[in-house]
Each structure stands twice: as structure tokens, then as C-alpha cells.
Structure 1
Amino acid sequence: MLVKIVIVGLLLFMVFNLFLAMKAMLGNSPKHQPMSKYIGRRVMTSALIVVIILLAISTGLITPNPRPY
């Protein structure tokens, strides 16, 4: 259950960074950070999510759906 909560938290963090990148693109960011900083965080978070899912499946913490055929 903890793995699923961590994954959902990371997905919310990805969406948050997506909106920060949108604000930076529109020029409404008060800090004037480059948009690539937020997009880079988003890509790094998605890579971390994939690694966590692969580790959780390999250790048996979560189980994938059975084959449909």
C-alpha cells in the first residue's frame, strides 16, 4: 500500500511541475526560473516512477494484472 501512495504522490508532483512550467512559459513566474528546470524535474520524476514500479513488481510488493488471453 505504501508503494501506491508514493507513486500517487510522485504523480501529483509531476502535475505540479507541469503547471509551474506553464507559468514559466507564460512569463508569470515571480522567480523567472527557466521552463526547462520544471520539465527536467518532471522527466526525472517519471523515470523514478518507472524504476519504483519495476522494483515493486520484481520484489512482489505489487502484482501486475494477469494476461487477458
Structure 2
Amino acid sequence: MLAVKITVGALLIFMIFNLFKAMIVMLKGESEEPMSKYIGRRVLASAAIVILLLLAIATGIITPNPRPY
């Protein structure tokens, strides 16, 4: 369970890092690397988080909160 939390936390930090890198590229204007590279990495990281959480719930590593009703 701790490994899942650490992995999700690392992926979230990776997403924020790529968001700021894309912002820097956008503000500079002309750059060697396209902004879509960093945005694509961010989308890939968010997809990995969703898949990781779904697999962890399906295997029983983590349990979701019970229904509120």
C-alpha cells in the first residue's frame, strides 16, 4: 500500500513538473522543444495514475471509501 502511495505521489510531482516546463516553453515563444511534448507527458502520467488506482482497487491493495448512503 505504501508503494502505491509513493508511486502516485511521484507521478503527481512529475505532472506538476511537466506543467511548469510547458509553461516556460509557452512563455519563451520560440523553443527547440514543442510544448505538446510536456503536455503529452502530463496526460500520460495522469492516465498511468488512473490505471494504477484501478488495478490497486481491483486487486484489493487499497479499498475505496464506503458509500455515503
Q: How many matched pairs?
A: 68
The corresponding residue for 2:44 is 44
> What pairs with 1:1-69 in structure 2 (closer than 5 Å)?
1-27=2-28, 32-69=32-69
The 4+ residue runs of structure 1 with deviation greater than 2 A are none
1:33 Cα deviation after fit = 1.1
Alignment TM-score, normalising by the size of structure 2: 0.92
Q: Write the letter of the residue equivalent to 1:37.
A: K
Identical residues among aligned pairs (%): 63
- 3-state SS, counterpart of residue 4 of structure 2: helix
Quote the RMSD (CA, aligned, Å). Answer: 1.5
Q: Deviations over 1:14-64 (max 9, x none)?
A: 0000000000001178x6311000000000000000000000000001000
Alignment TM-score, normalising by the size of structure 1: 0.92
Measure, in 1, the Cα distance between the counterparts of 2:11 and 2:62.
17
In the alignment, structure 2 segments of 5+ residues that lack a partner are: none
